[in-house]
Amino acid sequence: MEVVIAPAEELAVLAADAVEALLRRRADAVLGLATGSSPLAVYDELARRHAADALSFDQARGFMLDEYVGLPADHPERYRNVIATEIAERVDWPADQVRGPDGLAEDLAAACADYERAIAAAGGIDLQILGIGTDGHIAFNEPGSSLASRTRIKTLTRQTRIDNARFFGDDVDLVPTHCLTQGLGTIMDARHLVLLATGRHKAEAVHQLVEGPVSAMWPATVMQLHPHATVLVDEAAASRLQLAAYYRQTYDAKPDWQGL
């Protein structure tokens, strides 16, 4: 696991560099897309590069991490709509090449199984962008999630609903109680994991993710078992890391050619 500690603007540039390098190498690469606040600066940077440097998504495929269950199709916080607004419609990404789990399906279990099949049929995810919840979730794998889980329905914790109330006019009761989410096993199948976290409220979750024991109580700790995981954090999110000096020293000494 590589830990990079840098100002938030630099983190977004680093993540965008990794996405751009992948797309320039393989135009039809498969990207895993997170929602929430953490990836927004990355999407801004990718949209800027699309406009300025003709970075193209026209052959790329995208798979979202998760989706709320039951939000109306036109709800602005439905993750499908968020991804369309924040990235897909700002670049040349054909709508039918970006998919998410169907939180409005009549048969939610079948929708989850379909989603797993679609990811496999695309050849798996090359680069998965991730954020982390204050309770250590990635995607919506809340504490107690099986480390081997696949896409399925989950109940959101009260803490996650409180954290996300800011997207629902600060009314926690408007935040859905259920979601469909890629499982931890699904995420671990991606070839490169790039997690972004900023702010002191993420510091404990980041400490557990990088330095805690691997445990379903802090689901993101499963990333310690991944062969290519990159953790991009600002000073505040890094403030509880015990080996911060070592991570800085390692990154400073890293050869330029290595990339993330």
* CB distance 60 to 134 below 8 Å: no
Task: State the minimum distance, in angstroms, from the CB of residue 133 to ligand F6R.
Answer: 4
Identified catalytic residue from 126, 135, 189, 234: 135
Q: Which residue has the tokens 């689901």?
A: 219
Identified catalytic residue from 45, 67, 116, 137: 137
Residue type, 171: D
Confirm whether 137 is a catalytic residue.
yes
CA distance 81 to 78: 5
In 3D, which of 111, 100, 193 has the Cα closest to residue 152?
A: 111
Closest residue to ligand F6R, Cβ-based? 131
Residue 12 within binding range of ligand F6R, rule CB under 6 A: no
Task: State the minimum distance, in angstroms, from the CB of residue 41 to ligand F6R.
Answer: 11
Selected range binding ligand F6R among 11-19, 117-125, 126-134, 151-159, rule: CB under 6 A: 126-134
Q: Which of 11, 16, 88, 138 binds ligand F6R (CB under 6 A)?
A: 138
Q: Closer to ligand F6R at the Cβ: 47 or 184?
A: 184
Confirm whether 28 is a catalytic residue.
no
Tokens coding 142: 């809340």
Residue 189 within binding range of ligand F6R, rule CB under 6 A: no
Q: Closer to ligand F6R at the Cβ: 56 or 217?
A: 217
Tokens coding 183: 């499982």
Tokens coding 251: 């990154």
CA distance 26 to 16: 15
Strands 152-155 and 178-181: antiparallel
* CB distance 140 to 34 below 8 Å: no
Confirm whether 252 is a catalytic residue.
no
Binding mask 69-108 for ligand F6R (x = CB under 6 A): ----------------------------------------
In 3D, which of 200, 143, 154, 149 has the Cα closest to residue 177?
A: 154
Residue 219 within binding range of ligand F6R, rule CB under 6 A: no
Q: Which residues lie across from 141 on neighbouring strands?
A: 138
Confirm whether 53 is a catalytic residue.
no
Selected range binding ligand F6R among 36-44, 92-100, 204-212, 230-238, rule: CB under 6 A: 36-44
CA distance 231 to 223: 10
Catalytic positions are 66, 135, 137, 142
Residue ranges binding ligand F6R (CB under 6 A): 34-38, 65-66, 131-133, 137-140
